[in-house]
Amino acid sequence: MPGKTNSQNPMLKPSFLNFFKFSLIAVVIIAIVFIGIAFKNSDQIDYSKSDFIQLKEPADDADVVVFETTEGTFKAVLYEDEAPEYVKYFKKLVKDKYFDDTYICTIVKNQDGLEAGFLGGSKTADGTTIKESNTELTNIEISPNLLPIKGALGSLCTEEGMFTSAKAGSIVTFVNDVVNSKELKDSVKDGENINGRDRVTDIFLKLGGVPNLIREYTLFGQVFDGWNTYDKISAYEIIDEDKADDAENKNYQPVKEIKFKKVYLSTYGKEKTGEYKLPERVEKDAEQVTTEQLTTNP
HEC per residue, 265-280: EEEHHHHCCCCCCEEE
Backbone φ and ψ for 203, nearest 5 degrees, come out as -65, -45
- In angstroms, the CA 128 to CA 122 distance is 8
Among 7-21, 145-159, 263-277, which stretch is predicted with the lowest mean pLDDT?
Answer: 7-21
Q: Where are the beta strands (DSSP E) in the chain?
A: 63-69, 72-78, 102-109, 115-122, 138-139, 152-158, 167-177, 218-225, 259-267, 278-280, 292-294
The whole-number pLDDT of residue 33 equals: 44
pTM of the model: 0.83
| C-alpha distances in Å from residue 45, one per residue of 23, 147, 215, 298 | 21, 12, 9, 18
Residue 231 DSSP label: H
Domain locations in the chain as residue ranges: 6-271
pLDDT at 156: 77
What count of other Cβ atoms lies within 10 Å of the Cβ of residue 105? Answer: 23
Domain 6-271 fold: Cyclophilin (2.40.100)
Supply the pLDDT for residue 161: 52
Give residue-wise pLDDT tens across range 169-203: 999 999 999 987 877 777 666 556 677 788 888 99
Q: Looking at 7-11, 115-119, 181-185, 263-267, which range is the least confident one?
A: 7-11
**Whether pLDDT at 111 is above 60:** yes
* pLDDT tens sequence across 40-74: 443 468 888 899 999 999 999 999 999 999 999 99
pLDDT of residue 298: 39
Give φ, ψ of 21 to 5 degrees: -55, -50
Closest alpha carbon to 203 in 71, 48, 66: 48
Is 205 in contact with 185 (CB distance < 8 Å)?
yes
Looking at residue 117, what is its pLDDT?
A: 94
Q: Using one digit for the tens of pLDDT, what is the confidence trace for 137-179?
A: 999 999 999 999 999 999 977 765 545 567 889 999 999 999 8
Rounded to a whole number of angstroms, the CA Rg of the chain reads 18
Within 13 Å, how many C-alpha atoms sit on residue 49's CB side?
Answer: 5
pLDDT score recorded for residue 284: 61
Between CA 168 and CA 154 the distance in angstroms is: 9
Identity of the residue numbered 70: T
Q: How many Cα atoms within 13 Å fall on the side-chain side of residue 48?
A: 11
Distance CA 237, CA 239 (A): 7
**Nearest C-alpha neighbor of 178 from the set 198, 153, 158, 205:** 205
Q: Which residues of 112-138 are buried (b: 16+ CB within 10 A; e: fewer)?
A: eebbbbbbbbbbbbbbbbbeebbeebb
